Structure 1
Amino acid sequence: MARSGTRLAVDRSVPALIVKIGAYPLHHGGVGAIRSLGRLGVPMYAVTEDRFTPAALSRYLRGRFVWPTTGREAPDRLVTGLLRIGRRIGRPTLLLPTDEEAAVLIAEHAEALAGSFLFPRAAPGLPRRLASKQGLHELCAAHGVPSPAAVFPGSYADIEAYAGRARFPVVAKNREAFVRRERPAVTGTTRIGGPAQLLDLARDWGPRPGVILQEYLPREQAEDWIVHACFGADRAPLALFTGVKVRSWPPHAGMTACAYVVDNPELAKMSAEFVRRIGFTGIADLDWRFDRRDGRYKLLDFNPRMGAQFRLFENAAGVDVVRAQHLALTGRTVPEAPQRAGRRFVVENVDLPALLAYRRGGPRPPHAPRRARGTELAWFAGDDPLPFLTMLARSVGPGARHLRQLRRAGRRAGTEAPLRQGEGPK
């Protein structure tokens, strides 16, 4: 599968730049994008934290720009840095953001960036609103899209009132996507078992809690579905894929560790209609949860950029969402073809601890195939081995932390520990 799509008629005169804001060097999504377009002969460039990130050592990378950022920089400084990179590349370049900060920056400073770069022109405030838990919840309510019941407390008194009427357990998440810019209220997704635990945690959230308190959808009664798509300027899907998440790390709420492509016309239609109504254009990564209790798909997340697991999805013509974006923005036709159902995606460095954790956690999703029709590995590729080897060298510390987390989770029989975020965007 390594060289799939090599017959696509891409414009090799238009390079692409992987844009990231913040420190998350072990990000397989950026490596996947470099390989996806690089194998087609597109010159690939990337912003990296240092010279020895996995992405920086891909054989398909034409050039790297070492630019450590935190996400706390002033937007004007970030825009100036991008324009400096654009001048060094020397020709119009496709921008491929790998996190919400970068996607929002590009959308909100489109006029300044347009002369040097190619990117979809979404409404300036829309990506920020989609990346926000509250903004997404409000959009879902306005357009009749199911989502988990949620409240957005403005004070500790609001939390006390909620604790008196809520049905537990509930889930606490950070309200805004940009948690790297300041101290987050919670670390990742946290399951809260009762009023006393909620009130105890909330004492550390400050006078204006930056959290969303959300209905808990029990994993025994739910299925996790993912949709990756690329939408054109007319909001119609250029490529749209559906799949089932089998395992994640941390368990049940973190980044995808293993997933399968599964045809789901109903979910594809729901996703396309929602995007048409809100007017989004570009690449999107949506997380849905099917609630068996009421038979509805509920939208959990809308990432207005490529997801780290986007290489799970490819159609029979060799098109993934990154290739679709490059073809569309360079005036080429995006070939239509069925998605490759049954295909599997595995993130090697997190799927082993996830596999051990999920053996304790009940049956696999009923729609997941028993046997894969081809496997795409996040890190290892025979034609590009250095990113995999670099990931191994750099993940010794994080790997040990994963195993310690797993042991702690195992000691909590029948409970879910607070779930920590993976390294970087999913």
Structure 2
Amino acid sequence: MARTSTSFAVDRTVPGLIVKIGDYPLHHGGVGAIRSLGRLGVPMYAITEDRFTPAAASRYLHGRCVWPTTGREDPQQLAEVLLRIGKRIGRPAVLIPTDEEAAVLIGEYADVLGDRFLFPRIDACLPRRLASKQGLHELCVEHGVPSPATAFPESPEDIECFAAQARFPVVAKNREAFQRRRHPVVAGTTRIADPCQLLGLARDWGPRPDVILQEYLPREEAEDWIVHAYFDAESTALSLFTGVKVRSWPPHAGMTACAYVVDNPELAEMTAQFIKRIGFSGIVDLDWRYDRRDGAYKLLDFNPRMGAQFRLFENEAGIDVVRAQHLDLTGRKVPEAEQRAGRRFVVENIDLPAMLAYRRSGYTTPHAPDRATGTELAWLAADDLKPFFTMLARFVGPGARHMLELRRASRRARAAAESGALQQQTRP
């Protein structure tokens, strides 16, 4: 097994377990976490949908736990299966959730899981509240953190009043994080051009719409920033990174396709202060949007878990957020150092269609450096090739069908970029 030369020592007797709830096999974040700790000699385990996921193919995976889930299971049953997996591992393992469902499960069943696993201990209700669009907005208001103006309609009458008074366009999102798998009201983030479109869509939303209606921040007047960090038991940042998102897929509201590490002390301080006030501990992935119209960074999303693009960020000592968590939870010191500014992260299978869509739309990111100091690919790694080829096999699929769907999606994105009426769908 190849190991990375570092200036710090990890506890190789404590394994890591990638926890996934839901069916999304092409998840590069889990592969990145397996590689990050596996290269240090930490035994890595992962929950996978089947034996043929990219994560299951990694040379750094010590053991896979095939456990297909949908995200609609009873939480108590999920906790019981997780305990059985822990028993199979045979020693306490650091839990690394890759989605909101897993993060919320760990938080709410901490007392049940605590004897078998290592994870940060926080208020059991906090992960669910942070993952909720409404809960996050309420926390932002409570602690004075800028966020887009948001309404929470409780009835069709509320929507009619909103339509009569709001400034359009607006965006509609599912109110709760888990609705995308259970009973989604809208397809991710939906841009609504005018009152007529809103009232037309609302006819299908039922007597109590489980949506939020939010101020639209024009992409030509905004920049997408990301913050990844790990906070200890006192909610102090042991590692904190800032970067700018250059492209996402679907465009402007989906998963990061290309991003750069860019120093932003103001945003770092805002994040650290917010986390301290709410008392969160663990890994976070935050999406901020800088609104050039009023010069404010506005918090859009708070993921209380590892983000898929976390490997973009690493400091000069070789620390990323996953390594920081493992070191901290095993009683080791987390080395402090500057982030490696200028690094680039590219997700190979989605950046090409994203690049085409962004080129057509004319969108640019002023803070992105002209040249990267280094590039981290999501899938391809010289010391761990199988996940890349497994991804290709699943992405292309049994023939040309998936490529045809990709080309169709790219054409739809380009057309939407031109018309300004883009409906976008996100995933963890």
Q: TM-score range by the shorter chain?
A: over 0.9
Paired residue for 1:247?
Answer: 247
Matched, 1:295 2:295: yes
Aligned-pair CA distance for 1:409: 3.0
Match of 2:406 among 402, 405, 408: 402
Paired residue for 1:345?
Answer: 345
Letter in 1 for 2:422: A
Aligned-pair CA distance for 1:224: 0.3
Contact 1:54 1:386 (8 Å CA) reproduced: yes
Paired residue for 2:420?
Answer: 415
Contact 1:243 1:261 (8 Å CA) reproduced: yes
Paired residue for 1:238?
Answer: 238
1:14-25 to 2 correspondence within 5 Å? 14-25=14-25
Contact 2:251 2:413 (8 Å CA) reproduced: no
1:31-50 to 2 correspondence within 5 Å? 31-50=31-50
| TM score, norm. by length of structure 1 | 0.97
User: In structure 1, what is the Cα distance between the partners aligned to 2:224 and 2:184?
Assistant: 25
Letter in 2 for 1:22: G
User: In structure 2, what is the Cα distance between the partners aligned to 1:12 and 1:289?
Assistant: 39
DSSP 3-state at the match of 1:260: strand
Aligned-pair CA distance for 1:125: 0.2
Matched, 1:328 2:318: no
Letter in 2 for 1:267: L
User: In structure 1, what is the Cα distance between the partners aligned to 2:380 and 2:302?
Assistant: 28
Q: 1:190 to 1:272 in 2, by over 3 A?
A: same
1:60-209 to 2 correspondence within 5 Å? 60-209=60-209
Render the CA deviation track for 1:130-185: whole Å, top value 9, x for unaligned. 00000000000000000000001111111111000010000011111002442200
Contact 1:314 1:340 (8 Å CA) reproduced: yes
Matched, 1:210 2:210: yes
| TM score, norm. by length of structure 2 | 0.97
Paired residue for 1:368?
Answer: 368
User: In structure 1, what is the Cα distance between the partners aligned to 2:90 and 2:277?
Assistant: 37
Letter in 1 for 2:310: F
Aligned-pair CA distance for 1:360: 1.4
Aligned-pair CA distance for 1:417: 2.2
Contact 2:361 2:414 (8 Å CA) reproduced: no
Q: Percent identity?
A: 74
Contact 1:248 1:354 (8 Å CA) reproduced: yes
Aligned-pair CA distance for 1:406: 1.6
DSSP 3-state at the match of 2:371: coil
Provide runs of 4+ in structure 1 moved above 4 Å: 2-5
User: In structure 2, what is the Cα distance between the partners aligned to 1:346 and 1:333?
Assistant: 30
DSSP 3-state at the match of 2:72: coil
Paired residue for 1:283?
Answer: 283
User: In structure 2, what is the Cα distance between the partners aligned to 1:383 and 1:169?
Assistant: 47
Aligned-pair CA distance for 1:206: 1.3
Aligned-pair CA distance for 1:6: 3.8
User: In structure 2, what is the Cα distance between the partners aligned to 1:225 and 1:4?
Assistant: 29
Q: 1:377 to 1:271 in 2, by over 3 A?
A: same
Unpaired segments ≥5 residues, structure 1: none
Contact 1:97 1:306 (8 Å CA) reproduced: yes
User: In structure 2, what is the Cα distance between the partners aligned to 1:179 and 1:64?
Assistant: 28
Letter in 1 for 2:9: A
Pick which of 224-233 and 406-415 moved more. Answer: 406-415
Number of matched pairs: 422
User: In structure 2, what is the Cα distance between the partners aligned to 1:165 and 1:398?
Assistant: 43
Aligned-pair CA distance for 1:3: 6.6
DSSP 3-state at the match of 2:419: coil
User: In structure 1, what is the Cα distance between the partners aligned to 2:185 and 2:212?
Assistant: 10
Letter in 2 for 1:301: D
Q: 1:132 to 1:398 in 2, by over 3 A?
A: farther
User: In structure 1, what is the Cα distance between the partners aligned to 2:164 and 2:24?
Assistant: 39
Render the CA deviation track for 1:254-289: whole Å, top value 9, x for unaligned. 000000000000000000000000000000000000
Paired residue for 1:304?
Answer: 304
Aligned-pair CA distance for 1:205: 1.1
Aligned-pair CA distance for 1:363: 4.1
Pick which of 175-184 and 222-231 moved more. Answer: 175-184
Q: 1:380 to 1:386 in 2, by over 3 A?
A: same
Contact 1:8 1:40 (8 Å CA) reproduced: no
DSSP 3-state at the match of 1:34: helix
Letter in 2 for 1:24: Y
DSSP 3-state at the match of 1:70: coil
User: In structure 1, what is the Cα distance between the partners aligned to 2:393 and 2:340?
Assistant: 33
Letter in 1 for 2:278: I
Letter in 1 for 2:419: G
Unpaired segments ≥5 residues, structure 2: none
User: In structure 2, what is the Cα distance between the partners aligned to 1:5 and 1:401?
Assistant: 42
Contact 1:343 1:373 (8 Å CA) reproduced: yes
Render the CA deviation track for 1:102-129: whole Å, top value 9, x for unaligned. 0000000001000000000011000000
Render the CA deviation track for 1:24-48: whole Å, top value 9, x for unaligned. 0000000000000000000000000
Letter in 2 for 1:19: V
Letter in 2 for 1:415: G
Paired residue for 2:30?
Answer: 30
